Structure 1
Amino acid sequence: MAPLVPRMHLFEIDDQTWFPSFLRARVQAALTIAWTTHVPFIQKSSPAHLVAHILSTNLATTVRDYVFIDFCAGGGGPTPSIEKHLNQTISTTPPTATITTNGTGHSPSPAHDDSSYAAVAAAPPPPAQPVRFILTDLHPHVDAWKKAALLSPNLSFVRTSVDAAHAPGDLVGGYKAEGKKVFRLFNLAFHHFDDPLARAILKNTVETSDGFGIFELQERSFLGGFLTCALFGLGILVAAPYYAFLWQSPATLVFTYLIPILPFVLVFDGWMSALRTRTPDEVEALLRTCGAEGGEVEIARWEVRSGKDVFMWPFGRLNWIVCVRKGER
């Protein structure tokens, strides 16, 4: 069912050039906390863990074939956590061992092969290869990405500016040359693009990549938008002392309690984000009209899947869209 409220492309304070950079860093840090925090009894898992599960489920046995590129990574966001959870998941489900056939469509007889069927069946499966994640952004946050990359050999970043509507050929093409497929991630990002830019990004994605995922923590509804964001603001008021101590940042307390800019911006921008968030049907309409090379024939080769998973009881829901070329699951 379409939301009762039409999509409105309103402004967010955190996007404005006049918003102080040190406050922007705190806003982005708070959003990362929202992605990665798991509160017992209220949450079964963090939203980042949910994203890893969604990717693993929807890409199934092909998940190892992809390199995941976050095109709007900001300060890092949930991607380092998604990488950790996804690689933990696939490490427990190694690829199935196969028996090579002899060219007739049948497995070679044990009498004509050095290993028996029993030996092949008993052999340990090959180790699962971890999947790689790449952080990119139009405005790179290299210092923050360095810290994140030090924690995992499967996480790296691009130092230079990357435009999602004009992805560098050596970035996407380089991984394809290695035999990998490219999957683009948009975590709490796609709602920032107006329709012309969203179409340009989808056009470039269809022409150069093999899949993409859009993940949003809000939706255009009273419960999933207005109320969820308001509760997030209350959570910041409660958690601010802990994070001020963790970050060794007394300014966090000042701009939370004395001059409550941080909770105001987080709640206000959350409401604006909810009004800007697209439904799966709206994203699919942009996909059909993005002008990709090959037109409708090329778009017909893509499959759009979507869903809503609860990340905070009772109404905080992760809204997701996963789109891949048909036959690549």
Structure 2
Amino acid sequence: MKLRLHLFEFEDQAWFPSVIRAGMMDYLRFMTSHLGIYQPLVPVLREALQQTQQLHVLELGAGAGGGTDGVARALGQLPGLADLRVTLTDLYPQPSAWQSIRESSGGQIDYEITPVDATAVPAHLTGFRTIFSAFHHFTPAAAEAILADAVRQGAGIGVFEGAGKHWHEILLAWTILPIMQVMATPFMPPFRLSRLFFTFIIPLIPFCTIWDGTVSILRMYPTDRLLALACKADLGGKFEWRAGKVKHWSGSQVTYLVGWPKKA
């Protein structure tokens, strides 16, 4: 699917009730972690870390987390990456959600409590930059600015989306995934009465999740657009860029763009 429509998502709206947003983020974090959506990216990230000689991953736009924990554990078990560390950041930090991730990771994953703008990352926050499930939220101008900031600071970067941008993924968002959401809701940590109420009594959380999931796929950048954004952000040709898709065990795909400074 080459079509890209920048429609609105509920979770992006300032007026959107935080209790509904929290329920949606809980679900996305739970499913991403338990289904291992980003596990196929381990070889891609391993090469990127080797190319940049980094043992620190700086996750931008981390939201409620959930994209990195399983991948970080898998990477940490590989030769030479036992000391890998991850720092979660966001323009709107969520330390209450990140605290449990830090504890369950045994300290491998930490977080930055101050706001971090992905288009202008403070120089003291170093490491290989990643963006999981969030790059589609940015307009082309903002997406290009994120990549340009990485080039300007000589920081490797990878952007990852948990879909391959196919029409059948929209069908899944309307059918199978809502059923999975309803079934999983009682078991999602942390326990929230509000999540149960707005799932089973007034089903705003499932409805908004279906809408945002559909729009997310329509907003995703296909691989050729990702490379085009990278080329515009890197007019001097300082970085090596790669884009592609890898297959998840379920048959779905994960889309990626990675870039790092060329060796002299």
Alignment TM-score, normalising by the size of structure 2: 0.90
2:149 counterpart (188, 196, 204): 204
Return the letter of the residue paired with 1:10: L
Q: Identity across aligned pairs (percent)?
A: 29
In 2, Cα distance between equivalents of 1:197 and 1:240: 34
**Pair 1:171-2:119 in alignment:** no
Give the root-mean-square deviation of aligned CA atoms.
Answer: 2.1
Out of 201, 223, 230, the residue aligned to residue 287 of structure 1 is 230
1:132 aligns with 85
Partner of 1:25: 22
Kept in 2, the 8 Å contact 1:301–1:325? The answer is yes
Cα distance change of structure 1 residues 209 and 47 upon mapping to structure 2, 3 Å threshold: farther
Contact 2:69-2:101 within 8 A present in 1 as well: yes
Match of 1:102 in 2: none
Q: For 2:201, give the aligned amino acid.
A: L
Alignment correspondent of 2:170: 226
TM-score of the superposition, structure 1-length normalised?
Answer: 0.73
Q: Which residue of 1 aligns with 2:62?
A: 73
Look up the match of 1:150.
103
In structure 1, distance between residues paired with 2:231 and 2:256: 19
Give how far 1:12 is off: 0.2
Q: List aligned pairs for 1:255-294, cutoff 5 A.
A: 255-290=198-233
Matched, 1:311 2:248: yes
Aligned to 1:103: none
**Partner Cα separation in structure 2 for residue 307 and residue 286 of structure 1:** 14
Q: Deviations over 1:9-41 (max 9, x none)?
A: 111011111111122111111111221113xxx
Task: Name the amino acid aligned to 2:260.
Answer: V
| One-letter amino acid matched to 1:277 | M
> Match of 1:268, as an amino acid?
W
Cα 1:146/1:253, change in 2 over 3 Å:
closer
**Counterparts in 2 of 1:270 and 1:285: CA distance versus 1, 3 Å:** same
Report how far residue 62 of structure 1 moved. Answer: 4.4
Pick aligned residue for 1:48 from 35, 38, 41: 38
Identify the match of residue 242 of structure 1 among 143, 164, 187. 187
CA deviations 1:150-205 (Å, max 9, x no partner) are 33222221111110111112223xxxxxxxxx311110010000011112111111
Deviation of the 1:284 alpha carbon: 1.6
Gaps of 5+ in 1: 39-45, 95-127, 173-181
1:280 Cα deviation after fit: 1.8
**Greater shift after overlay, 261-270 or 75-84?**
75-84
Q: Which runs of 4+ in 1 moved over 6 A?
A: none
CA deviations on 1:285-307 (whole Å, 9 max, x unpaired) are 122223x5xxx33xx23222233
Q: Could you tell me how far apart the structure 2 residues matched to 1:192 and 1:136 are? A: 16
Superposed displacement of residue 147, structure 1 = 2.5
1:66 and 1:209 map into 2 onto residues whose CA distance is 16
The 2-side partners of 1:169 and 1:248 are apart by 38
